[in-house]
């Protein structure tokens, strides 16, 4: 068994666990610390250090981050503190724990987990993972190969970003019925289908555990299924991403 520590940085919590990357499952209990108010780079890095210190692991660490990530540097900050833009998150975290870090866009990490061990396993063609939470994340795969840093949550739909209209946060903030919210999400999915013609949509994020309430309301040409790894997808995908980076930097 190859075990790598995975960390998932979210808007409300930062959680980590050792991952058995062959099985695609956690190899120990998750440890979670609330995301510090404001979420500045320094404060988040301190919490990441606490997460790492909680586990008796060695070697590289995989970590998700809710931004476009290019060679460890955050290029956007749509749902985090703006001071992250231009921050070398990889170097920052490595300076705290003195271990190699691989930092991956959060939706990409969740998608990697689903392609390797979940709803996308063995699926050929174009697969689009959509994560619904504070915003809308996306991860695009073609024949199992990731096209990193797609940002379909920022598609313009009726003059607003898709995630402003159809994220889980938007549904809760506006107390929308499942029917009304599904209608908005269908508009987003239709835009994506017009651009990419995917063979499969995987719907993930925290809302995936409520798929019985909305999946039948979603209408797409492509097959559409709920994610299988639920809240541990980010941790698992981050660990898998770190293992690949070590093999092929």
User: Is residue 23 assigned to a domain?
Assistant: yes
Residue 49 in 3-state DSSP?
helix
Whether 82 and 150 map to the same domain: the answer is: no
The domain that contains 177 carries what CATH number? Answer: 3.30.420.40
User: Is residue 117 assigned to a domain?
Assistant: no
Q: How far is CA 61 from the centre of its chain?
A: 16
Whether 90 and 55 map to the same domain: the answer is: yes
User: Is residue 116 assigned to a domain?
Assistant: no
Whether 7 and 84 map to the same domain: the answer is: yes
Whether 78 and 144 map to the same domain: the answer is: no
Radius of gyration of the chain (CA): 17
Query: Which distant-in-sequence residues (6+ apart) come within 8 Å of 109 by Cβ?
Result: 8, 62, 64, 233, 234, 237, 238, 241
pTM of the model: 0.94
What per-residue string of b and e applies to 87-126 under the rule 16 or more CB within 10 Å gives b? Answer: bebbebbbebbeebbbbbbbbbbbbbbbbbbbbbeebeeb
Distance CA 199, CA 72 (A): 30
State both tokens at 91.
Answer: 């170097």
Whether 224 and 237 map to the same domain: the answer is: no
Contact between 225 and 97 (Cβ < 8 Å): no
Whether 96 and 132 map to the same domain: the answer is: no
pLDDT value at position 246?
64
User: Is residue 115 assigned to a domain?
Assistant: no
Residue with the two structure tokens 């930097």: 249
User: Is residue 113 assigned to a domain?
Assistant: no
Whether 29 and 51 map to the same domain: the answer is: yes
Contact between 235 and 116 (Cβ < 8 Å): no
pLDDT value at position 207?
87
User: Is residue 224 assigned to a domain?
Assistant: yes
Whether 96 and 145 map to the same domain: the answer is: no
Whether 194 and 238 map to the same domain: the answer is: no
pLDDT value at position 231?
84
Whether 210 and 145 map to the same domain: the answer is: yes
Ranges under pLDDT 70 in the chain? 246-249
In this predicted model, what pLDDT tens digit does every residue of 32-58 receive, in sequence order? 999 999 899 999 999 999 999 999 999
pLDDT value at position 7?
98
User: Is residue 176 assigned to a domain?
Assistant: yes
In this predicted model, what pLDDT tens digit does every residue of 61-99 receive, in sequence order? 999 999 999 999 999 987 789 999 999 999 999 999 999
pLDDT value at position 216?
95
Residue with the two structure tokens 């996306």: 138
User: Is residue 114 assigned to a domain?
Assistant: no
Structural domains of the chain, count: 2
Domain span at residue 154? 122-228
């Amino acid at each position: 068994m190859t075990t790598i520590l995975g960390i998932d940085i979210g808007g409300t919590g930062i959680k980590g666990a050792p991952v058995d990357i062959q099985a695609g499952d956690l190899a120990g209990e998750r440890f979670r610390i609330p995301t510090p108010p404001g979420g500045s780079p320094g404060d988040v890095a301190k919490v990441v250090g606490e997460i790492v210190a909680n586990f008796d692991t060695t070697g590289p660490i995989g970590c998700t981050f809710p931004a476009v990530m290019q060679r460890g540097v955050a290029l956007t900050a749509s749902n985090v503190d703006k001071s992250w833009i231009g921050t070398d998150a990889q170097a920052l975290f490595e300076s705290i724990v003195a271990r190699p870090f691989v930092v991956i866009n959060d939706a990409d990490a969740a998608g990697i987990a689903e392609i390797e061990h979940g709803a996308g396993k063995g699926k050929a063609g174009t697969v689009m993972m959509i994560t619904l939470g504070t915003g809308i994340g996306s991860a695009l795969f073609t024949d199992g190969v990731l096209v990193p840093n797609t940002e379909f949550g920022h598609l313009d739909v009726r003059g607003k970003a898709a995630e402003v209209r159809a994220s889980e946060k938007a549904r809760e903030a506006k107390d929308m019925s499942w029917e009304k919210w599904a209608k908005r999400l269908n508009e987003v999915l239709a835009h994506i289908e017009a651009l990419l013609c995917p063979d499969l949509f995987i719907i993930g994020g925290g809302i995936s555990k409520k798929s019985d309430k909305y999946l039948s309301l979603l209408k797409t040409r492509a097959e559409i299924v709920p994610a299988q790894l639920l809240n541990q997808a980010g941790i698992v995908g981050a660990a898998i991403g770190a293992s690949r980076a070590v093999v092929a930097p």
